[in-house]
Structures are given as C-alpha cells and as structure tokens.
Amino acid sequence: MLASRSWVVIALFLIITVAQKMMEPMYNGYFFAFCTLSLMVAWKCRYSRFIKAPELNVDFFAIFLVLTFSVFLAIKMHQDARDIFRDIGAIFAFIIGRYAIPLWVGRGNVKLLLQTLSDIGVAISVITIMFAFIAYLDGADAYHWRGAYVPLSHGWLPYFLIVNIALLRQTPQHTSHYGYRIFLCVGGTIAALSRTDVLIDLFIGLVLLLTIGRYLFSNVRIMRKLFLISIIVVVFMPKIVELDVVQQRLTSNAEDADPSLGWRYIENQALFDYFDEGGALPVIVGYGLGARIPLPDGVLDFDGNDTIPLLHNSYLTIVLKFGLLGLCFFALYIVRKIRVWMALRKTPHAIYAWTGSWIMLIVLAKGIILQGLTEWSHVLFFGLACMLLSFDTYKKESNK
C-alpha cells in the first residue's frame, strides 16, 4: 500500500505527463504542479528549521545570485517576459527536485523516494507502450510515432531504469519484482523509438556487466531472469528491427528524412554568429534569462519564428544565457557533486550516491543533444540527482 506522500509525488509526474500531451504551452501544467507541491511542502514544513542546513544555504545563495544577476541583465536587454518565465521555470524545476520532493516524502527517507520513482516508472512505461501500440495500429511513420503519439515523458525511462537497478541491488531478495520493472523500462524505451535512450540503456548494461558482472553471474535467480530475457530478445528483436518505423529511425540522417541533425548545425552556427556580433562581454556573462538567438536570414523554426530561445545542446544554451562564466560555475558545481559521490562510496549510503551519479550522468549526456539541462522535467531529475549527492540528505537517516 503506497503512502499518501508517494501518491502526491506520483500525481506530480502524471500531471506533467498529461501537460505534455494536452496543454499548450505544456509548461503551464508543469508550473501548476510545481506550485501546488511547493505550497504543500511549505505548509508541512512551516515549523521546521530545515532552512538552517549549511548546504541548503550555499545552494540557495548561489541560485539567488544567478537569478538576481540574470533578471537584471534580461531587463536591460529587454527580453520577452514569456521567455524569462521559461528560463526561471527551469531553475524552479531544479528546486522542486532538489528540495521540494525530498522534503515532502520525508527528509532522510531516500528508499521511499526511490520506491515511489520506481512506481512512476511503471506507469510511464505502460503509457509509452500503450501509445506506441496505438501508433502501430494507426500505421504512423517514425516522425508522427514520436511526435504525435508517444508522450515526451518516455525520456524519463533511463532514470527509472537506474532507480530499479539500485533497488534490486539493495534488496536482491526482490529480484523478480524489480527485474520485471527493469524489463518494462527497457521495453518502453524501445517502444518509444528513442535512439539516444536505447544507446544509454546499452551503455548502462555494458558498465554493469563490467563492474558487477561477477555478482550477476553468481546469483542463480538473476541468471534465470537474464536467460528468460535473452530468449525474448532473440525471438522478438529481429521482428522489431524489421518494422518500417524502426528502419526509418535506423537509416534516417540529416540529408534524408531526419532533419534534426541539420537543424542542430544551423542553431549552433547561429549562436556563434550572434556572439561574433555582440563582442566579448556577452561571451563572458551571456545575454541573460529570456535571451533568444536570431536565425540566419530566411530560416524559421518549426513554429515560424526567426529567433529561438533554446538550443538542443544545453551547454550552449547555458553559454547563451550566462556566458562562459556561468558554464564554468556549473562545471564547478558538478565537480563538487563528484567529490560528494567519492566520499559516499564507502558509506551505508553508497547505493543512493550511485543512483544519483548515474541520473546526473544521464542528464548531462542528454544535455548535449536533447535539451537535458533546459527542459523542466529533466532539470527536475537533475535536482533529484543533486539531492542524492548531498551530505545533508543523509543526516536525519544517519540519526535513525
């Protein structure tokens, strides 16, 4: 029986999932869910003193400085209010993942949080597979399969895959329970026709094979499950690969049916041209929240605009908004989290730190080509990863 705290978090993610399909812009649904949870957390913690946690003060102070400077710069550059709101929302999403969700579930109750995320993963996997099956019945091509049928939340499945692997490692007696959930996450990723996420899943599997392969092969129960999965893969994978939509995803390129790679080149070149026109100062500090990049003459985005607020490469987006200085500060923050992971590796919380490090790695990887560090829901997972890679997360748990 799920705790009421878990149901609230599940509802948060399902609202976001629905918003992706039914709201325009979808960030209205995100914002509603985030604000509702924030108010509930504020009411729950109205008498607590959690704000005095040292790390909380450091992170909030850094966020406050970034927001203050960026809003000032945005106003000076006369940026559009809607674009400023979108960029502030990404920072808000980080705060939700880093503080609001853990505080709602219960500070120090990390296992309950991971179990809740595992349950959400089941729901998202089922939803993804269901819509993919509808797309198959309707004869949709690869473009409409992913754009009109499969929800964007399928991109969360690698995070849930990591969560389920962590829970399986923590409770090997529940091999079947979490093993099926792992299989469901992988199946949902394949059904979504996401080339990037399939590669991420393969990379995760390869690393696990190299790092804990000896443990896997020595566990009879796990080996039975792996053998069963292998049979399923051998029987069904050739038939899946032969599907027209799969062939379209495998053979498409920038010059053929998939314009995405060509578009990435155009937006990257537009950014470099924009900085060439602006001089040295914007390269250092950026153009502030809400900044947009002018596209080359005669080029419009998919909505008919001649400017774009975000690039597919999130690191270049950070440079656009905050300059090379902002990118350096972000890199220092990542290094700080890596140091926390190193420190937690030999503690009872090692499996949680392992989970956080993998989720962070996936978000950073998605940030290269899939807006992983600017799309609100992925930034939320980045916040969850940072929570798992923070010493203050485990203070209360250590005192139990």
CA distance 38 to 223: 44
Whole-angstrom distance, CA of residue 379 vs CA of residue 371: 9
pLDDT tier at 54, thresholds 50, 70, 90 = very low
pLDDT of residue 66: 65
- Output the six-digit token pair for 367: 């940030």
Please give the pLDDT value at position 236. Answer: 66
How much is the average pLDDT of 244-257? 60
400 pLDDT band, cuts 50/70/90, is very low
**pLDDT band for position 339 (50/70/90)?**
very high
Structure tokens given for 1: 């029986």
pLDDT at position 264: 81
Across the range 233-258, mean pLDDT stands at 62
Angstrom CA distances, 26 to 32, 45, 152, 325, stand at 10, 29, 11, 31
Element (H, E) at 246: helix 244-251
Retrieve residue 380's tokens. 């939320």
Own/partner contacts of 334-343, CB < 8 Å, gap of 24 or more, are: 334/360, 334/364, 337/385, 337/386, 337/389, 340/389, 340/390, 340/391, 341/389, 343/391
pLDDT in tens, 174-230: 877 888 899 899 999 998 988 889 899 999 988 888 887 676 667 677 677 667 777
Contacts 24+ apart (CB under 8 A), 313-316: 313/264, 313/268, 313/367, 313/368, 313/369, 314/366, 314/367, 314/368, 314/371, 314/372, 314/373, 314/374, 315/367, 315/368, 315/373, 316/268, 316/271
Which pLDDT score, from 0 to 100, does residue 53 have?
Answer: 46
> To the nearest whole number, what is the mean pLDDT of the chain?
82
Q: What is the pLDDT of residue 255?
A: 46
Residue 55, pLDDT above cutoff 50: no
Residue 245 pLDDT exceeds 50: yes
Share of the chain above pLDDT 90, in %: 32
- Rounded mean pLDDT of 352-366? 96
Flag whether pLDDT at 79 surpasses 70. no
Ranking 65-69, 106-110, 193-197, 365-369 by mean pLDDT, the lowest is: 65-69
Q: Residue 156 is encoded by which pair of tokens?
A: 């969360």
Higher pLDDT, 54 or 145: 145
Give the pLDDT of residue 231: 77
Extended beta strands in the chain, E state: 293-294, 307-308
* Per-residue pLDDT at 16: 93
CA distances from 316 to 272, 312, 325, 368, 370 (A): 10, 8, 12, 9, 12
The rounded distance, in Å, linking the Cα atoms of 325 and 318 is 10
32-36, 69-73, 287-291, range with the lowest pLDDT: 69-73
Residues 33-47: pLDDT tens digits? 898 888 888 887 766
Taking alpha carbons only, the member of 167, 37, 192 closest to residue 111 is 167
Asked whether residue 282 carries a pLDDT value surpassing 90, the answer given is: no
Q: Tell me if 145 sits within 8 A of 194, measured CB to CB.
A: no
Domain boundaries, the chain: 77-106+278-400, 107-258
Tokens of 141: 């091509």
Cis, bond preceding 25 (omega within 30 deg of 0): yes
Quick one: what percent of the chain has pLDDT higher than 70? 78
Residue 280 has pLDDT above 50, yes or no: yes
Integer Cα distance of 331 and 336 in angstroms: 9
Q: pLDDT band for position 393 (50/70/90)? A: confident
Query: 254-261: which pairs have CB atoms within 8 A and are 24 or more residues apart?
Result: 257/142, 257/143, 260/312
Report in angstroms the alpha-carbon separations of 382 from 17, 88, 89, 257, 271.
Answer: 17, 15, 14, 32, 25
Question: Computed over its alpha carbons, how large is the radius of gyration of the chain?
Answer: 22
Report d(CA 316, CA 36) in Å as an integer.
Answer: 32
Structure-model confidence comparison of residues 228 and 339, the more confident one: 339
- Alpha-helix residue ranges (DSSP H) falling in 139-156: 142-144
Which position has the higher pLDDT, 7 or 240? 7
Q: Which DSSP state fits 139?
A: T
Residue 8 or 49, more confident: 8
The residue type at 138: D
Question: How many Å apart are CA 353 and CA 334, to the nearest integer?
Answer: 14
36 by Cβ neighbours in 10 Å (0-12 / 13-18 / 19+) ranks as middle
Average of per-residue pLDDT across 299-323: 86
